[in-house]
Chain A
Amino acid sequence: MVSVFLKTDELKMLEQVWFPLVITLKIAITSTLLVALIGVIISYLLARRDFRGKWIADVLVTLPLVLPPTVTGYVLVVLLGRNGSLGEILYDITGWTILFTWEAAVIAAFIVSLPLMVKTTTAAIEAVDRDFEYAAFTLGRKELETALFITLPLAKKGILAGTVLSFARAVGEFGATLMVAGNIPGRTNTMSISIYSAFQAGNNELANLLVIILITMSFASMAITAKLVNSWKI
């Protein structure tokens, strides 16, 4: 119905803005939920457990933070492609290939934002005084209960900060996403990729609009987090 009142140009513009916005949020939210869940588990293990090869786990998780996104993207393409080790198993089982889908973009966003979550959360958990946990143990509480009801609530500021950073990183992800998910209009053209293609095509009007939306979104998520954290006493 909207189209009745809009010129074709405007309608096209809306599509060019609306779709990247929706796909970006879908990818970023899915990836952030996964990062938050898995990141907290990894962080807890890194902060509180001693195990063989702990330092290797730490380095592996952090690596995407320092690698160029193209390298991360390339490794993912090799792994997830129909001939890649993981991709082949997936194809044999389901007959589906993940490359150039929005799910591939989720994996790329997950890998690049995980280090931000893990670094921030590990530091926050390490900062929780162990006496609180020991006290819970002496009061008959098991480690899992203690982690869920004592340690993590006391590290919540750090966990939230890590989650927001991961979300922001996922929204802004460009290089690895372009390599694993491509730039398929209507399927995988995220905001950051759309800005690049609009700029390449000389469509400054669209690029400006997308840039303003992206900045506003990032600013709002950071501002809301800061407000929330300030309202928490502990």
Chain B
Amino acid sequence: MGIKVDFRKRYYNKKSDKKKGKEASFTLDVQFELGDELVVLFGRSGSGKTTTLQCISGLLEPNGGKIVVNDNVYFDCHKRTNLPVQQRSLGYVFQNYALFPHMDVKKNIAYGLKGWNEVNKEKRVIEMLQLLHIEGLEHNYPSQLSGGQKQRVALARALAPKPDILLLDEPFSALDMVVRMKLREKIKEIQRELRIPVLFITHNHVEAFTIADKVVIFHEGRVQQIGTPEDVFYQPSNRHVAELVGLSNIFEDAIALNVDEAPETLVLECGNLKVITNKPDRIVAEKVSWGIRPENLRILPLTDDAKSRENTFKACVKSVVNKGASKVLALEIAEHKNLLLAEMANQFFEDVDLRTGDECLARIEMSKIVIF
């Protein structure tokens, strides 16, 4: 059971380019094999997430490869199998909901129940209304619903025919925080109950982290890493993944040196910037990249006597950006001219009260350094 995907889809600038054998302008090359779990497809816009979903659903035909869901072959290039969308037994929730505007909620939900008798149809619609807590809305038209209600109806409609797989294309991007959180929980609950693969596209990393059993990271048409949220967030496999999961401060080509006096630590030398970190469990190459999240940089007043502690550098504030509950500071490390981003909660910021041009100390938390 689960989903096994290995396919390619090529795009050309012009139709004639394909005939002339020119190189494709964008190639999507996707491989992953996952169980009946909640999978988040995570990546920037244009990295191939939606195309992947469309290929799985059959709305697009890949140029080669194989797609199998629950032992049911949806697409196989070699055997020339390409199951029509209608026969794939899938639920698809579109980014803009795509609720039929000329049908009320009840008709929308029942639309996929072709061939069911009226009694069962009615029963199933009521079940769906209850599952998504939208009882009482059945005679409303989509234009009379709020964003959150529309999303619930879209989910109900997709789930009504009992699909083998549920595909969600950025379903919550137009919703406010509170509604988002509620619906995230709902999706998790539904997945646990139905035990079907759920593929969920997002480019919000908080969403990816909170909802996913597994995360598949996309970058420029390629899968970069597959793993649990902890894996990809704390052990990104490369720079693209690191950037995507919010490691804004990245240093490439650092030389990793062992320290004889302290065998459990490692010195990372990048130009003339040296930081000490805990030695990871795995074997580290001689040349590595490392990064640190903005929230893991500690800002201390210049007068602090911690100046001599490890990984602490004198820095100059280049800019302060207010993010509401926190402030993001761009810091230039005095000796190295490296620019670092630091994020700190407002209450801590008030203590140091820094302005552009001020000097401070920046400490890179040793235990929070991520090596990849």
Seen from chain A, the residues whose Cβ lies within 8 Å of a Cβ on chain B are 129, 131-132, 134-142, 150, 153-154, 233-234
* B102-118 interface code vs A (CB 8 A; 1 in, 0 out): 10000000011010000
B48 at interface, CB cutoff 8 A:
no
Evaluate contact between A140 and B102: CB separation under 8 angstroms: no
Residues of A within 8 A of B114 (CB): 139-141
Which 6 A-B pairs rank lowest in CB-CB distance, beginning with the nearest? A139-B112, A131-B98, A138-B92, A135-B98, A137-B85, A131-B94
Evaluate contact between A234 and B94: CB separation under 8 angstroms: no
Evaluate contact between A129 and B102: CB separation under 8 angstroms: no
Residues of A within 8 A of B112 (CB): 138-141
**Smallest CB gap from A137: residue in B:** B85
A44 to B86, CA, bound (A): 20
Residues of B within 8 A of A154 (CB): 100-102
Contacts between chains A and B (CB distance < 8 A), count: 59
| A132-B100, A134-B59 known; A140 vs B161 contact (CB < 8 Å) | yes
**Smallest CB gap from A142: residue in B:** B86
Residues of B within 8 A of A153 (CB): 102
| A139-B161, A233-B143 known; A134 vs B94 contact (CB < 8 Å) | yes
A9 to B327, CA, bound (A): 95
Residues of A within 8 A of B258 (CB): none
| A129-B96, A131-B96 known; A138 vs B101 contact (CB < 8 Å) | no
Shortest Cβ gap from B89 to chain A (Å): 8
A145 to B112, CA, bound (A): 12
Evaluate contact between B96 and A136: CB separation under 8 angstroms: no
Evaluate contact between A139 and B98: CB separation under 8 angstroms: no
B90 at interface, CB cutoff 8 A:
yes
B157 at interface, CB cutoff 8 A:
yes
**Smallest CB gap from B160: residue in A:** A139
Shortest Cβ gap from A132 to chain B (Å): 5
Identify which of B57, B86, B98, B143 contacts A140 (C-beta below 8 A). Answer: B86
Most buried by B among A131, A136, A138, A141: A138
Evaluate contact between A134 and B98: CB separation under 8 angstroms: yes
A112 to B158, CA, bound (A): 45
* B76-95 interface code vs A (CB 8 A; 1 in, 0 out): 00000000011110111010
Identify which of B90, B100, B102, B141 contacts A138 (C-beta below 8 A). Answer: B90
A140 to B157, CA, bound (A): 12
Shortest Cβ gap from B113 to chain A (Å): 9
Evaluate contact between B57 and A138: CB separation under 8 angstroms: yes
Residues of A within 8 A of B90 (CB): 138
- Could you pull out 6 A-B pairs where Cβ atoms are within 8 angstroms? A129-B98, A138-B112, A139-B112, A139-B161, A154-B100, A233-B141
Shortest Cβ gap from A119 to chain B (Å): 24
Given contact pairs A137-B58, A139-B158, A141-B111, a sample of 7 additional A-B residue pairs in the complex whose CB atoms are under 8 Å apart = A131-B98, A134-B85, A138-B85, A140-B161, A141-B112, A141-B114, A154-B101
Identify which of B59, B91, B102 contacts A137 (C-beta below 8 A). Answer: B59
Evaluate contact between A136 and B111: CB separation under 8 angstroms: yes
A150 to B112, CA, bound (A): 13
**Smallest CB gap from A132: residue in B:** B98
A137 to B141, CA, bound (A): 21
Shortest Cβ gap from A124 to chain B (Å): 14
Residues of B within 8 A of A134 (CB): 57, 59, 85, 92, 94, 98
Shortest Cβ gap from A31 to chain B (Å): 29
Residues of B within 8 A of A233 (CB): 141, 143
